[in-house]
């Protein structure tokens, strides 16, 4: 269920951390880190490659390739096990606390013999960390926050993880004889940013074959409950899956009920009650006589309640019922509306694929335009130079229109400095078609300074999109502290778009922020921020978020025809 590539990525990343903290050389640790990312982003399944095949992946040398082969042959890697054995399990857990990291965790162990999360919270309470080099009051706060994030993340999983797991289950169950319908429900169908458990629904006359299939899947680690109507299992990744099998003639009612949200269902039930009806997962029934009046499709159920079909992404009781009753539901943006991606990387910086391959893959998605936005020089480890950027521009120009007429925009992802300044002087910036500007450092500025910083970036004539605006990493790093309403208003005023970054662990902006920003008049760009070919597909999660924020194509600049997009990129200038 976990992609083999992701498994190897996590393993090599762990190895890099272990090397770093057990006194191995920093160069080796970095090499493993780089290989981890390359394998995670590699389009082909690495479990099927031999040493020679693996060595064709950039950054993967003989010794790394051999470890990968060893892992798939034996299930473990001796070198990783040896390093693990040097560190107590509790300390390894400390290393995974966001905001703490491997180095500090090791320092805590070596200097204070702290080897569990419990001991760490005790030590913070007793102010025993303050005497350590590199720790202070601020660090303590951050660590406590990291522990809280880790505990929350332990309970919910990333949307992408849940989606991939659910798709495998749905594919397996759909192939079984007698399956009339099969789909995910619950928060996953509503495309929530994180998912508590996966709900899957099947319409069939006999339930047992489906229940048996779920419990027998290779990805199933544990059966929690096995029944005729509902079966629950836990996957090898620790995710709970609830499978319900319903009679085909109550499919619509069941799908509506188990999609939720609870808050939305309370509203639909109340409407039913007022009409003298009763709504359950079996259908919509008349109170008197109990005749069933709707149940086959969701459409039918909503129609009988006087409502249009409501997209699952809107079902949160955030005004969708009222809008539906008035006939004013938004025509939310869909993946088919997206005409291009405006934030992507190549192997010129930290992307994994060369320009031509990224462009070909984008064209394969049917895009009308595509922006290449590699990192700018202020992110030092990317080693960007003016010459490299200009050489890439030549290459971009030569590929412009070469794939099915897809137009290319040459851009860059700039870094918003602590005072709101960006890389490069204006005359150099003027040469780009489009610039995304993002916060990549100084996350801890005070609220006022942080707000001023981003507003200044919005006011820059050559900044068109604010990339991953809050910089949060789900379960790992909180968003920056800024007056976001002031930022959103500045975006609206200056004609700067807010990004909806679709990277699975960012999903930034989140739905609540999108709703507020939209009400303040801002426009949006839904971007993959792809660092590899397969990342281009992540755009779907961004679309889910955009829908949850009630956005229509008119709100999203990369659904617009290129002419209208180019006008937006002039930021009011006439040139
Ligand atoms: P999650 O799993 O925490 O991410 O969120 P959901 O929304 O998937 O919640 P879950 O799995 O507990 O239940 C799936 C759906 O089933 C939920 O969205 C609405 C429906 N549902 C579950 N329990 C109740 C209930 O007691 N009343 C009503 N009206 N609906 C319920
Ligand atoms: Ca659920
Ligand atoms: Ca559930
Ligand atoms: Zn980026």
Residue identifier of the C-alpha nearest atom 19 of ligand 1: 260
Q: Whose CA is nearest to atom 23 of ligand 1?
A: 262
Task: Give pTM, 2 decimals.
Answer: 0.80
Rounded to 5°, angle at Cα 558 from 418 and 570: 60
Report how far residue 455's alpha carbon sits from residue 472's, in angstroms, rounded to the nearest whole number: 18
Under DSSP, is residue 408 helix (H, G, I), strand (E, B) or coil?
Answer: strand
Nearest residue (by CA) to ligand 1, atom 14, is 186
Q: Is the CB of 240 under 6 A from ligand 1?
A: no
- Strand 497-501, strand 465-466: pairing: parallel
Q: Report the separation in Å between the CA atom of 185 and the middle of ligand 3, taken as the mean of its atom positions.
A: 9
pLDDT for residue 2 is more than 60:
no
For tokens 């190895």, what's the residue? 15
Nearest atom (ligand 1) to Cα of 197: 2
User: Is 317's C-beta closer than 6 angstroms to any atom of ligand 1?
Assistant: no
Residues making up the chain, counted from first to last: 575
Please state, in angstroms and as integers, the Cα–Cα distance from residue 226 to each residue in 96, 215, 231, 234, 381, following that order. 34, 8, 4, 12, 52
In this structure, of 134-143, 242-251, 272-281, the range with the lowest mean pLDDT score is 134-143
Superfamily grouping for domain 335-569:
Metal-dependent hydrolases (3.20.20.140)
Per-residue confidence band for 1, with pLDDT thresholds at 50, 70 and 90: very low
> What are 471-482's pLDDT values in tens digits?
999 877 889 999
Tell me the C-alpha distance between 540 and 334, whole Å: 9
Q: Which CATH superfamily is domain 4-155 in?
A: DNA polymerase beta, N-terminal domain-like (1.10.150.110)
3-state helix, strand, coil in the chain (%, to 5): 50, 15, 35
Domains 4-155 and 251-326 share a fold: no
* Cα torsion 387, 389, 393, 399: sign: positive
Rounded to a whole number of angstroms, the CA Rg of the chain reads: 26
Residue-averaged pLDDT of the chain: 93
Mean pLDDT, residues 487-512 = 97
In which element (H, E) is residue 122 found?
helix 117-125
Domain ranges of the chain: 4-155, 157-246, 251-326, 335-569
Lowest mean pLDDT: which of 64-68, 120-124, 369-373?
120-124
Per-residue CA distances from 470 to 160, 473, 506 (Å): 20, 9, 9
Rounded CA-CA distance 50/59 in Å is 16
Question: The domain 157-246 is classified under which CATH number: 3.50.50.60, 3.90.1580.10, 3.30.460.10, 3.90.79.10?
Answer: 3.30.460.10
Does residue 258's CB lie within 6 angstroms of at least one atom of ligand 1? yes
Contact 313, 260 (CB under 8 A): no
In the CATH hierarchy, which fold is given to the domain comprising 251-326?
Beta Polymerase; domain 3 (3.30.210)
**Closest ligand 1 atom to 156 CA:** 4
Output the six-digit token pair for 490: 């500045």
- Is the distance from CB of 369 to CB of 351 less than 8 angstroms? no
Confidence of residue 152 (pLDDT cuts 50, 70, 90): low
State the distance from the centre of ligand 2 to the C-alpha of 242, rounded, in angstroms.
8
Q: At CA 505, angle to CA 501 and CA 508, rounded to 5?
A: 30
Give the residue from 281, 283, 324 showing the smallest Cα distance to 306.
324
The average pLDDT across 27-33 equals 90
Q: Single out the residue of 285, 284, 287 nearest to residue 298, CA to CA.
A: 284
């Amino acid at each position: 269920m976990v992609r083999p590539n992701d498994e190897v990525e996590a393993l090599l990343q762990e190895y890099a951390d272990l090397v770093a903290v057990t006194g191995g050389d920093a160069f080796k640790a970095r090499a493993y880190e780089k290989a981890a990312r390359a394998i995670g982003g590699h389009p082909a399944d690495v479990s099927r490659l031999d040493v020679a095949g693996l060595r064709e992946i950039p950054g993967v040398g003989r010794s790394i390739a051999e470890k990968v082969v060893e892992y798939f042959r034996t299930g473990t890697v001796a070198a990783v096990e040896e390093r693990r054995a040097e560190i107590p399990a509790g300390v390894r857990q400390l290393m995974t606390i966001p905001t703490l990291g491997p180095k500090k965790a090791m320092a805590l162990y070596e200097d204070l013999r702290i080897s569990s999360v419990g001991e760490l919270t005790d030590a913070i309470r007793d102010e025993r960390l303050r005497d350590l080099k590199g720790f202070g009051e601020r660090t303590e706060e951050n660590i406590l926050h990291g522990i809280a994030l880790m505990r929350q993340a332990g309970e919910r999983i990333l949307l992408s993880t849940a989606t991939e797991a659910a798709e495998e289950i749905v594919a397996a169950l759909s192939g079984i004889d007698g399956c009339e319908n099969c789909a995910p429900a619950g928060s996953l169908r509503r495309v929530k940013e994180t998912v508590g458990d996966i709900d899957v629904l099947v319409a069939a006359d006999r339930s047992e074959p489906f229940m048996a299939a779920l419990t027998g899947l290779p990805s199933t680690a544990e059966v929690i409950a096995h029944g005729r109507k509902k079966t629950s299992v836990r996957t090898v990744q620790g995710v709970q899956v609830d499978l319900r099998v319903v009679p085909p003639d109550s499919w619509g009612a069941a799908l509506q009920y188990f999609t939720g949200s609870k808050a939305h269902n309370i509203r639909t039930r109340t409407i039913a009650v007022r009409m003298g009806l009763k709504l359950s997962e079996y259908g919509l029934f008349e109170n008197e006589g109990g005749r069933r009046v709707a149940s086959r499709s969701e459409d039918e159920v909503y129609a009988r309640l006087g409502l249009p079909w409501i997209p699952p992404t809107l079902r949160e009781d955030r005004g969708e019922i009222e809008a539906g009753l008035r006939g004013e539901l938004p025509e939310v943006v869909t993946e088919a509306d997206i005409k291009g991606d405006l934030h992507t990387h190549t192997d010129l910086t930290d992307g994994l694929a060369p320009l031509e391959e990224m462009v070909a893959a984008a064209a394969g998605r049917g895009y009308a335009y595509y922006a290449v936005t590699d990192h700018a020089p202020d992110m030092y480890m990317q080693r960007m130079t003016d010459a490299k950027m200009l050489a890439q521009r030549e290459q971009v120009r030569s590929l412009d229109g070469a794939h099915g007429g897809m137009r290319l925009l040459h851009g860059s992802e700039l870094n918003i400095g602590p005072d709101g300044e960006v890389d490069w002087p204006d005359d150099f910036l003027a040469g780009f078609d489009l610039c995304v500007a993002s916060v990549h450092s100084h996350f801890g500025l005070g609220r006022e300074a942080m707000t001023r910083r981003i507003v200044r970036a919005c006011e820059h004539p050559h900044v068109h999109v604010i990339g991953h605006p809050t910089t949060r990493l789900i379960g790992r790093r909180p968003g920056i502290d800024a007056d976001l309403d002031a930022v959103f208003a500045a975006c609206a005023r200056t004609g700067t778009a807010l990004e909806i970054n679709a990277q699975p662990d960012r999903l930034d902006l989140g739905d609540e922020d999108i709703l507020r920003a939209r009400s303040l008049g801002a426009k949006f760009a839904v971007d993959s921020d792809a660092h590899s070919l397969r990342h281009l597909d992540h755009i779907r999660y961004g679309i889910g978020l955009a829908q949850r924020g009630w956005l229509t194509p008119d709100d999203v600049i990369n659904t617009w025809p290129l002419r209208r997009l180019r006008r937006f990129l002039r930021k009011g200038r006439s040139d």
